[in-house]
Amino acid sequence: MDPEGTGDRVRPVWYAGPDTVLGEFWTMLHLPYTLMVLSFVVLGAVLAPKISWLLLGGSVLAYFLGLGVGAHLLDQVPGMGSRYVRHWSSEALWAGGFLSLASAVAIGVVGAVWFVGIPLLLLVAVQALCAVGYPLARWFGGLLHRDSVFALSWGSLPFLSSYYAQTRSVDLVSLLVASLLAGVAVLEIRLSRASRRLRAEARSARERSASAPKPTGRSYRTYDRALRLLSSATVLVAGGLFAGRVLVSIW
């Protein structure tokens, strides 16, 4: 029996949903990694002296729409990313991706103009550029499809944007934490690439010869276990600190 519960089919990623429209949407959300990004947003708020729950909620929603949905849908546009969807048309991916990104930017602009201050717009603009430039690599000649951009966009900026929204400032401690989270993001993307590459090799081996011995998949499962641990630990740390701040505010 296949340990993944998929018969002879090796899934494109370890958290993949079923082979349906909704199942592919679930897969495209890359929920373990999206939750990591949202955890960085939460960390930015809980490390601030005072928390505006409204701004935290807006920041979480903006990043879920912008990176969790928008950038991930654009990553599946034909010829741009590591495409594996079959039930979504190119038009739906383009429309859904840019609509989600536009909604996220709108939330950021409203937050900057009405609540935080105009300097937040710079962070919003940089984040939006990375969210478009990383998945749509051909548009920028691959310039923004780099680990350094991923570290900034999926690691440092979610934390810094949230922290700045709460404090209207950036200090040495916040920059150090942002640097640490950039490293966590790079570790995640490199482990993920290795896992996807080995999964693709396993699928290719099975397709070439149905009678060939089935690959054990131990290599990609090793990377998958590391990714599960990394994503779970990130969410647990952020969730624990958030719960602590909530309890302090109640008491």
| C-alpha span between 145 and 111 (Å, rounded) | 28
> In the predicted model, what is the mean pLDDT of residues 161-173?
97
Please work out, in degrees rounded to the nearest 5, the angle formed at the alpha carbon of residue 29 by the alpha carbons of 94 and 139.
Answer: 35
Residue 243: is its pLDDT beyond 90? Answer: yes
Query: Which domains occur in the chain, in start order?
Result: 21-250 (1.10.600)
Residue 5: is its pLDDT beyond 50? Answer: no
Residue 98 Cα to chain centre, angstroms: 16
**Which pLDDT score is estimated for 140?**
85
Reported as a single tens digit per residue, the pLDDT across 172-197 is 999 999 999 999 999 999 999 999 88
| C-alpha span between 17 and 74 (Å, rounded) | 18
Residue 49: is its pLDDT beyond 60? Answer: yes
Tokens of 31: 């929920």
Confidence of residue 80 (pLDDT cuts 50, 70, 90): low
pTM for the whole structure: 0.91
CA–CA distances in Å: residue 20 to residues 10, 24, 153: 16, 6, 30
| C-alpha span between 124 and 127 (Å, rounded) | 5
Residue 148 Cα to chain centre, angstroms: 15
**Which pLDDT score is estimated for 200?**
82
Residue with tokens 């601030």: 48
